[in-house]
Amino acid sequence: MSEANYSVPSSESVVTDQGKPMIGLNVDVAVEESGRIVTRMNIRYSDLMIQHGALPVIFPPGVMPEEVGADLDGFLLIGGDDYRCGMKKPDSPPPRFVGVLPRREEADLAWAHWLLQSDLPVLGICGGLQALVLAAGGDLVEDIESELDSDVDHRVIETGTIPRHDVQWSGQLSDCPDQGVFTINSSHHQAVGRIPENWQVLAQSADGVIEACSDESGRCVGVQWHPELMPEDQLGHSIVERLVEAARVRRGIRLA
C-alpha cells in the first residue's frame, strides 16, 4: 500500500496571514419532548476546531453545499445515529438501530456527495465516516454485535461509559504518525463494511473492524472513533491537525 499522496499543500509563495480557516460542520436534528424540532450539535466538535486553530461554521439542513462551499476551507462531518440508506433491508432494522431524522440524513448525504467531488480537505468522525463511505459507494456492517465474532467492546450502553481499545495504524497517511498501535475510544455499533473503490484502510481493531480509512488521495479521511472526547488521543488529534493545516493553506491560496 502506498502512502496517500494528498498532503498539506506547500505554503511557499502563499499569503498565510488570512485569518483562521473556515471549516464547515453539519448538525443533528432532534425532536424534543415538547414536540419542538431543533438542530443541535455536541459542543465538543466545535471546540475541537477552535482548539486546533480553525473557525467552525455550522450549517443546518436546508443550506445547500453548492451555495456556501466555495467560501469554506474544509469540512468536518460529525457523528450521530444511523443512516437508513445504509440498511440492506430498509423495512427490517437491525438490532440497536436508531435512525437519524430524515432531514438530517438528506442533508448529510448531500454534503457527503458534494464533498467527494470538491477539492476541500474533509474529515468524517464516526457517523461522518459512514456517510462518506455510503456516498462513495461502500457499505456498512449494520450491527457489529450480531454480525461479527468480536470480543472488542465497541460500545457499552448499559454503563454509559465509552470503552477504549487498541488499533493498528497503517502509517499510510501523510503528515500523521508512522505505523504503530494506538489506543482510541469507541462508541458505535455500526462500522464500515466494504470500503469504496480506490479507498484504503488506515486503521483496524483486533477483530478486523475498520477504524479509519480514506480516499486514494487522502483528501477525504474518516475515523470511527471520537478525538473530540479524548484529549490524549495522539493519533486522532494529528489527523484533526492535518485537516486544519490543509484548510489553513487552502485559505491562503483562495484569498491570495
Helices and strands per DSSP (H, E), number in the chain: 6, 13
First to last CA, the chain: 36
Query: Mean pLDDT in the chain?
Result: 91
Q: pLDDT tens, 172-223?
A: 999 999 999 999 999 999 999 999 999 999 999 999 999 999 999 999 999 9
Contact, 174 vs 149, CB < 8 A? no
The DSSP secondary structure of 195-226, one letter per residue, reads: PPTTEEEEEEETT--EEEEEETTSSEEEESS-
Annotated domain spans of the chain: 22-255
Q: What is the pLDDT of residue 145?
A: 87
Contact, 224 vs 169, CB < 8 A? no
Q: State the Cα–Cα distance between residues 84 and 77, nearest whole angstrom.
A: 17
Does this model's pTM top 0.85? My answer is: yes
Q: pLDDT tens, 121-150?
A: 999 999 999 999 999 999 999 988 888 888
The domain covering 22-255 belongs, at the CATH homologous superfamily level, to Class I glutamine amidotransferase (GATase) domain (3.40.50.880)
Is pLDDT larger for residue 12 or for residue 50? Answer: 50
C-alpha closest to that of 113 among 128, 135, 131: 135
Phi, psi of 185, deg, nearest 5: -95, 175
